[in-house]
């Protein structure tokens, strides 16, 4: 990730407009005053540059939660800040426009665009892309969607889309566990999950999980199925257990089934004479248990005081949790005080990260709105209740 180290600190008192972005007044961590956030406004987007004061220098890098997918934009902003300082090290040299090319071609899509996409095939964790590219080439009339968190693999496949002039393959550089929840369709014929990372010592990190089954069934056609292929016996056994514990599945297991396109991973395991398992998981009579209120606007109640009263606290209710982290605030005499705090919430299986912003009018907002998915709507309602209870408690205390 782009970053630089300087001898001195970026000091400014007012908003700075440069090119097509605006640098807003810095926010300082209330607990650790060596940690700062520099808000950047670009079009409709807001993201932060983190500044960390260390023993002998300052480190500047983009904040992971708000990081935009456009690396060139991040580099441009960091370069501008760096130009005002004594830089001792950096990795900000501009490369060609490879970071934005996929975006321009329209095949690299962001999570908000998923709500209107109607994919026929989905592949999760496509890696080098051999299987997904073959799928898209052989089925030009079908819409294929790939999720991958490893950015170099995403770039490689975007280049191949351009090379082969594919018009039906879309890529989302996002965690598939959340991504599939953002889809609003029942169009999927097959959801491929080939050689997922087993995470046998940290099973909660796996893609395959009971929630994943339910989320997949929501978007699969009635005769659609999950195609899981793995060399990991423990993963497959756990997959069987998960499928058995759901009362609306039937499945089949195929051992050492030959497929035409063999991925890098599969070739490695086959050369080692390992068995390969393929599991097909179908649904029958699946009805979505909970009808979500998908009209949720994610409005938050007013807060009558700073965010500190809620910071560094955790709440748990059933399978939903909420965690509010450190508070950062503006500290200039000319600017009204703005508070922000890191918020992590949702299900333990797939938490969501954003920031809560408390503006000058004591209005509370999310920096990046949650998704209109069941676990986020549940967590949002839970948060509203916590805020309302805190407000009532405060009114009672002040009236006594």
Using CB atoms within 10 A of its CB, is residue 400 exposed (0-12), middle (13-18) or buried (19+)? exposed
Give the residues lining the site for ligand SAM (CB under 6 A). Answer: 124-127, 147-150, 153, 175-177, 194-197, 207, 263-266
CB of residue 265 vs ligand SAM: minimum separation in angstroms? 4
The nearer residue to ligand SAM, 271 or 291, going by C-beta atoms, is 271
CB of residue 374 vs ligand SAM: minimum separation in angstroms? 18
The nearer residue to ligand SAM, 250 or 264, going by C-beta atoms, is 264
Other CB atoms within a 10 A radius of the CB of residue 157 amount to 26
Q: Tell me which residue of 163, 166, 172, 173 sits closest to 145, measured CA to CA.
A: 172
The nearer residue to ligand SAM, 46 or 259, going by C-beta atoms, is 259
The nearer residue to ligand SAM, 180 or 340, going by C-beta atoms, is 180
- Who contacts 34 (Cβ-Cβ below 8 Å, separation ≥6)? 52, 53, 54
Say if residues 356 and 365 touch (Cβ distance below 8 Å). yes
CB of residue 146 vs ligand SAM: minimum separation in angstroms? 9
Check the annotation: does 123 bind a ligand: yes
The nearer residue to ligand SAM, 276 or 303, going by C-beta atoms, is 276
Q: Which residue is nearest to ligand SAM (CB)?
A: 125
Token pair of 69, please?
A: 């997918």
- Who contacts 107 (Cβ-Cβ below 8 Å, separation ≥6)? 158, 161, 166, 169, 170, 171
CB of residue 174 vs ligand SAM: minimum separation in angstroms? 7
Other CB atoms within a 10 A radius of the CB of residue 219 amount to 19
CB of residue 98 vs ligand SAM: minimum separation in angstroms? 19
Check the annotation: does 148 bind a ligand: yes
Check the annotation: does 214 bind a ligand: no
Q: How far apart are CA 268 and CA 104, in angstroms?
A: 35
Check the annotation: does 363 bind a ligand: no
Check the annotation: does 359 bind a ligand: no
Sign of the C-alpha dihedral, residues 262, 268, 270, 275? negative
Instruction: Summarize the annotated binding site for S-adenosyl-L-methionine as residue ranges.
Output: 123, 148, 175
Instruction: Summarize the annotated binding site as residue ranges.
Output: 123, 148, 175, 201, 231
Instruction: Summarize the annotated binding site for substrate as residue ranges.
Output: 201, 231
């Amino acid at each position: 990730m782009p970053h630089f180290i300087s001898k001195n600190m970026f000091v400014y008192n007012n908003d700075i407009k440069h090119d097509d972005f605006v640098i807003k007044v810095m926010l300082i961590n209330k607990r650790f005053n060596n940690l700062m956030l520099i808000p950047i406004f670009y079009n409709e987007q807001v993201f932060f540059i983190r500044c960390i004061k260390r023993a002998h220098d300052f480190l500047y890098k983009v904040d992971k939660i708000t990081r935009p997918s456009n690396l060139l934009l991040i580099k441009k902003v960091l370069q501008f800040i760096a130009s005002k300082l004594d830089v001792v090290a950096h990795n900000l040299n501009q490369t060609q426009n490879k970071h934005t090319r996929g975006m321009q071609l329209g095949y690299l899509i962001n999570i908000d665009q998923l709500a209107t996409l109607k994919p026929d095939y989905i592949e999760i964790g496509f890696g080098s892309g051999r299987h997904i590219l073959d799928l898209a080439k052989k089925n030009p009339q079908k819409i294929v969607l790939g999720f991958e968190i490893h950015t170099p693999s995403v770039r490689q496949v975007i280049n191949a889309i351009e090379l082969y002039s594919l018009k039906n393959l879309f890529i989302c550089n996002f965690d598939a566990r959340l991504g599939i929840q953002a889809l609003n369709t029942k169009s999927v014929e097959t959801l491929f999950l080939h050689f997922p990372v087993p995470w046998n010592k940290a099973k909660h990190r796996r893609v395959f999980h009971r929630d994943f089954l339910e989320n997949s069934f929501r978007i699969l056609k009635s005769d659609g199925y999950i195609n899981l292929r793995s060399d990991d016996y423990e993963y497959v056994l756990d997959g069987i257990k998960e499928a058995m514990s759901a009362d609306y599945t039937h499945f089949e297991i195929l051992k050492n089934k030959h497929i035409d396109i063999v991925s890098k991973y599969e070739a490695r395991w086959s050369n080692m004479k390992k068995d390969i398992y393929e599991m097909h998981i179908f649904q029958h009579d699946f009805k979505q248990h909970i009808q979500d209120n998908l009209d949720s606007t994610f409005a938050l109640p007013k807060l009558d005081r700073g965010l500190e009263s809620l910071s560094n606290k955790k709440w748990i209710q059933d399978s939903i949790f909420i965690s509010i982290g450190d508070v950062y605030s503006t500290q200039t005499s000319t600017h009204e005080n703005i508070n922000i705090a890191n918020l992590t919430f949702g299900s333990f299986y797939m938490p969501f990260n954003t920031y809560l912003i408390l503006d000058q009018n004591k209005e509370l907002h999310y920096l990046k709105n949650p998704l209109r998915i069941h676990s986020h709507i549940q967590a949002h309602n839970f948060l509203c209740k916590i805020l309302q209870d805190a407000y009532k408690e405060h009114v009672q205390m002040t009236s006594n």
